[in-house]
C-alpha cells in the first residue's frame, strides 16, 4: 500500500479489519491469525482513545460522510454557495464606512485565516505531552488572534489542519478544544473564542463579508452580529425590526433564512433589544 508515512493505530486497525473481511470472503485459512492481529490493534486503539473496544471499533470503521451534518446544517452550509452561483450578495456600502481613524475611514471586512501547516499529525498524536501542547496552543492562539472572535468548532478544525489533519474525530476534537481552552483565550457561553487583546464587553466592531466568504453565518459571534445591527439602526433609525434583520443578513453576505440562521440571528438581535 502506497501510504508514504507510518500507520497510526487507527489506520493499522482499519487495514487489519479489511484483511480479515477479505480473508473471510475467500474462506482463507489465514483468517484466524488476521483476527488475532486485528484484535491486538483494536486493544491498542481503545487504549489510545480512552474508550471501550466496541466504541473504538465503531468509530474507526465508520464510513465518512460527505458532510457529517444534518439536512438543516447542510442547507446552511450551502446557502451562501447556492446564492453566489447566481449573484454575489455584497454588504451595503453604507456599512463599510466608519469614523476616520489611523487606518482610514473604511471598515475592514472579514479576512479568513490562511492555514499554514506548522507540524505533522504526530504532534497531535503526542498530546498532552508538554512540547506537543505548546505547539498546538501556539497555533490556536495565532489563528484566534487573527480571526477572533472565532467559533470554537472552527478554531479546532483550523488548528487540526495546521498539523496536517483534515478530518477530526470527536475524541481528537475534544482534546484540541481542551488545549484551546487552556491557551489563555477566552471562550464565551456561545463557544466563541476571543483573543486576549479584545474585551468582548467593550468591542463594538463587526467585519462585513460577501456571500463568497468562507464563514458560515452561525460561526459569526452574536456580539459581532449585534454590533452590526446597532450600527445599522443608528444610521437608519426608521427601519423596522424585519428590515434591520434583512440588512444584517446582507452585511454578512446572506439573504435566505434557514432555521439555524434565523435562530442565530434572533439570539444576536436579542442582545441589542436587551440594551434598549
Q: Residue 232: pLDDT above 90?
A: yes
Contacts of 42 (CB under 8 A, 6+ apart): 13, 53, 56, 57
Beta bridge partners of 106: 97
User: What pLDDT does residue 75 have?
Assistant: 47
238-271 pLDDT, tens digit each: 999 999 999 999 999 999 999 999 999 999 999 8
Q: Sign of dihedral through CA atoms 149, 150, 155, 159?
A: negative
**Closest to 88 in 3D by CA, of 213, 206, 242:** 213
Q: How far is CA 213 from CA 68, 249, 263, in A?
A: 21, 13, 21
Average pLDDT over residues 59-66: 47
User: What pLDDT does residue 65 have?
Assistant: 35
Share above pLDDT 70 across residues of the chain, in percent, rounded to a whole number = 76
**Out of 21-35, 160-174, 177-191, which region has the weakest mean confidence (pLDDT)?**
21-35
Q: Residue 110: pLDDT above 50?
A: yes
**Out of 60-69, 142-151, 178-187, which region has the weakest mean confidence (pLDDT)?**
60-69
User: Three-class SS string for 68-106?
Assistant: CCCHHHHHHHHHHHHHHHHCCCCCCHHHHEEEEECCEEE
User: What pLDDT does residue 89 have?
Assistant: 95
Contact present, 217 and 268 (Cβ < 8 Å): no
Average pLDDT over residues 124-130: 95
* Residue 106 vs residue 76, higher pLDDT: 106
* Residue 167: count of CB within 10 angstroms of its CB: 10
Q: Residue 108: pLDDT above 50?
A: yes
The rounded mean pLDDT for the chain is 83
Residue 17, CB-side half-sphere exposure with 13 Å CA sphere: 17
Amino acid at each position: 500500500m502506497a501510504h508514504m508515512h507510518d500507520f497510526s493505530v487507527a489506520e493499522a486497525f482499519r487495514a487489519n479489519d479489511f484483511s480479515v473481511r477479505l480473508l473471510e470472503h475467500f474462506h482463507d485459512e489465514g483468517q484466524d491469525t488476521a483476527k488475532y492481529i486485528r484484535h491486538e490493534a483494536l486493544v491498542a486503539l481503545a487504549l489510545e482513545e480512552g474508550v471501550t473496544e466496541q466504541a473504538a471499533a465503531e468509530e474507526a470503521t465508520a464510513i465518512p460522510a460527505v458532510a457529517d451534518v444534518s439536512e438543516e446544517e447542510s442547507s446552511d452550509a450551502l446557502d451562501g454557495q447556492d446564492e453566489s452561483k447566481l449573484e454575489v450578495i455584497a454588504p451595503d456600502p453604507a456599512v463599510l464606512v466608519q469614523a476616520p481613524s489611523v487606518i482610514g475611514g473604511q471598515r475592514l471586512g472579514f479576512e479568513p485565516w490562511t492555514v499554514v501547516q506548522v507540524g505533522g499529525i504526530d504532534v497531535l498524536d503526542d498530546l498532552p505531552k508538554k512540547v506537543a501542547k505548546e505547539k498546538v496552543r501556539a497555533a490556536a492562539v495565532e489563528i484566534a488572534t487573527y480571526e477572533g472572535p472565532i467559533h470554537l468548532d472552527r478554531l479546532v478544525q483550523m488548528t487540526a489542519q495546521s498539523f496536517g489533519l483534515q478530518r477530526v474525530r470527536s475524541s481528537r476534537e475534544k482534546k484540541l478544544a481542551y488545549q484551546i481552552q487552556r491557551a489563555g483565550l477566552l471562550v464565551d457561553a456561545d463557544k466563541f473564542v476571543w483573543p486576549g487583546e479584545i474585551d468582548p464587553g467593550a468591542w463594538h466592531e463587526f467585519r462585513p463579508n460577501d456571500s463568497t466568504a468562507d464563514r458560515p453565518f452561525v460561526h459569526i459571534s452574536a456580539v459581532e452580529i449585534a454590533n452590526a445591527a446597532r450600527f445599522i439602526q443608528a444610521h437608519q433609525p426608521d427601519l423596522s425590526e424585519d428590515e434591520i434583520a434583512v440588512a444584517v443578513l446582507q452585511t454578512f453576505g446572506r439573504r435566505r433564512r434557514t432555521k439555524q440562521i434565523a435562530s442565530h440571528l434572533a439570539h444576536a438581535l436579542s442582545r441589542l433589544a436587551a440594551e434598549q
